[in-house]
Amino acid sequence: MSQVEIKDVRKRYGSAEVIHGVSVDVADGEFVVLVGPSGCGKSTLLRMIAGLEGISGGTISIGGRVVNKITPKDRNIAMVFQSYALYPQKTVAQNMGFSMKIDGRPKAEIDEAVREAAAILGLEPYLDRYPRQLSGGQRQRVAMGRAIVRDPEAFLFDEPLSNLDAKLRVQMRAEIKALHQRLGTTTIYVTHDQIEAMTMADRIVVLNGGRVEQVGPPLELYDNPRNRFVAGFLGSPSINFLDAMVDRRDGVPAARFDNGDVLPVPAWVPDGPLTVGIRPEHLSLSETDSGLRCEIATVEPTGAETLVFANHADQPVTFSLRGRLPHGPGDTLNLTPDPDKVLFFERDGGERILPAHSEAA
């Protein structure tokens, strides 16, 4: 039983509240990613779970025990930091075994635990080295080894891959995921990188300005964002937002754009101004003259797919297609969105507009 329950947690610095009543339940063995832009409070929340920051309101429980007043060392958690935070004067083995040494465990037991963790992470050849003699990826592995040796109820990761180069980041992402599948330890992972969130999480918690915007499995959030913020935050390249006006001029509900383009919309979409959200992969080249007329600004061929950055009625539109595009900058394309995948958001406030009977997760 090592679930983590966060109930109405608040954090104030003086009179400024930075976390405004966040509630998240992390089930035993679950991998939850806290994601959001810089300053959204995700790292502060993680540090509050770890006990490195005080809690101004609400409760945090780990394994059914309220830990608000409990020191970090007694919370039975392990944390991996962005900067690795290894002790520079200790060897890899000493770094990994330090918590057990402080706990007064016998040397044989410490050695055994360190060896096991090193075997899991492929660190055996480096046990006698110092952190300065290791590469960034190896250092981060040592930091993970240090966490494993503690055999904690929960792993906390604070942007652990941010200091690594792009290729290593992808590799370590897979390693952390594999480690979680192997150990099954409850994991809370903080990142600002939505790709990490999408690829690693069982569930994602999207935070913004110290509030939870939405919680759910990655694809659920991707397909059914509750608001414009979540829709815009998840997905790379980002979703396209196009301002339009809905009316039923010809008896059929349609979204009209400034340049005169018309997009048929479902009947439940109300009249008036709104924002249409279309993901880049949900646009396709139109065979006819209908659709959204876009002028190509730049084309980025990546081999497997082509990214097209264009303008539609002075609003940027990104469009991706498998394969190659026989067009270049300055050309005009007609793009048709997949009608089932188009999202609608209130122009003010950015809340998602949904049919009366359904609700986003």
Binding site for another protein (CB under 8 A): 47, 50-52, 71-73, 77-79, 81-83, 85-89, 98-99, 102-103, 146, 150
Taking the least distance from each CB to another protein, the nearer of 16 and 356 is 16
Smallest distance from the beta carbon of 352 to another protein, in angstroms? 38
Three-state secondary-structure class, residue 313:
coil
Q: In angstroms, rounded to a whole number, what is the distance separating the alpha carbons of residues 103 and 269?
A: 62
| Tokens read off for 287 | 């065979």
| Tokens read off for 12 | 């104030």
The answer to whether the CB of 50 falls within 8 A of the CB of 72 is yes
The answer to whether the CB of 33 falls within 8 A of the CB of 221 is no
Taking the least distance from each CB to another protein, the nearer of 86 and 127 is 86
Smallest distance from the beta carbon of 79 to another protein, in angstroms? 5
Smallest distance from the beta carbon of 228 to another protein, in angstroms? 34
Could you give the angle at which helices 166-183 and 136-149 cross, rounded to 10 degrees? 20
Query: Tokens 């998240």 belong to which residue?
Result: 24
Taking the least distance from each CB to another protein, the nearer of 38 and 302 is 38
Taking the least distance from each CB to another protein, the nearer of 47 and 282 is 47
Smallest distance from the beta carbon of 77 to another protein, in angstroms? 7
Closest CA to 138 of 118, 158, 156, 155: 118
Taking the least distance from each CB to another protein, the nearer of 95 and 224 is 95
Taking the least distance from each CB to another protein, the nearer of 89 and 332 is 89
The answer to whether the CB of 311 falls within 8 A of the CB of 234 is no
Smallest distance from the beta carbon of 140 to another protein, in angstroms? 13
Taking the least distance from each CB to another protein, the nearer of 154 and 172 is 154
Query: Tokens 């492929």 belong to which residue?
Result: 122
Closest CA to 157 of 61, 35, 70: 35
For residue 249, the tally of other CB atoms under 10 A from its CB is 10
Closest CA to 31 of 155, 136, 160: 155
Q: In angstroms, rounded to a whole number, what is the distance separating the alpha carbons of residues 181 and 163?
A: 24
Smallest distance from the beta carbon of 92 to another protein, in angstroms? 14
Smallest distance from the beta carbon of 203 to another protein, in angstroms? 24
- Cis preceding linkage at 37, omega within 30: no
